[in-house]
């Protein structure tokens, strides 16, 4: 008995995952929930700059979203000297894939669905970072020296840059 709760279920079997959600279930009701297994996936590709040259040491993020079981999985790898990256054993589902560099360059988010296995040869093209300037102040307008400022991409939680304020904030 669930008393009107939403039922979520997941099953993992030898490199495959099945997941599902059903609407609110009345107390005492019989529920049958069928789960179809999908294979874990490998995603590989290359990170390139705006000229198409490979970029080493870019941070590549795969953010797998399971809307039916309220589970999100974030994994990160660094691109190799040849710009190549690989994720193995990613859960099936919607994946948001993007890359960033320590100097603020980033790729747009590439979305894909991994319900049918591997995806190969994904090209993630970086867009150069833009300077961001500003000032940190107290309510009375005085600058805050030594404040830590962190820039993040919303929704994916990736830190792009960090800085500290100077004596004027």
**Higher-confidence position of 164 and 6:** 164
Look at residue 2 in the predicted model and tell me its pLDDT: 44
Q: What is the pLDDT of residue 1?
A: 40
Q: 24 pLDDT band (50/70/90 cuts)?
A: low
Q: What is the pLDDT of residue 66?
A: 67
pTM beyond 0.75, yes or no: no
Q: Which residue has the tokens 């009375």?
A: 140
Q: DSSP character for 108?
A: P
pLDDT in the model for residue 67: 58
Q: Per-residue pLDDT for 47 more than 90? A: yes
pLDDT, position 5: 67
Sheet hosting strand 16-22, strand order edge to edge: 7-13, 16-22, 38-39
Residue 48 scores a pLDDT above 60: yes
3-state class (DSSP) for residue 51: coil
């Amino acid at each position: 008995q669930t008393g009107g709760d939403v039922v979520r279920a997941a099953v993992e079997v030898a490199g495959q995952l099945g997941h599902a959600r059903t609407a609110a279930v009345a107390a005492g009701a019989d529920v049958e929930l069928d789960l179809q297994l999908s294979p874990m996936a490998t995603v590989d590709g290359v990170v390139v700059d705006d000229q198409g040259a490979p970029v080493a040491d870019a941070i590549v993020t795969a953010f797998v979203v399971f809307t039916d079981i309220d589970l999100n999985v974030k994994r990160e790898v660094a691109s190799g000297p040849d710009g190549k990256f690989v994720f193995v054993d990613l859960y099936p589902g919607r994946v948001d894939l993007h890359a960033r560099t320590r100097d603020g360059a980033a790729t747009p988010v590439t979305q894909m669905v991994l319900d049918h296995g591997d995806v190969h040869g994904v090209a993630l093209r970086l867009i150069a970072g833009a300077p961001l300037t500003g000032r940190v102040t107290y309510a009375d307008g005085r600058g805050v020296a030594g404040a830590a400022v962190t820039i993040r991409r919303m929704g994916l939680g990736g830190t792009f840059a960090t800085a500290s304020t100077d004596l004027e904030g």
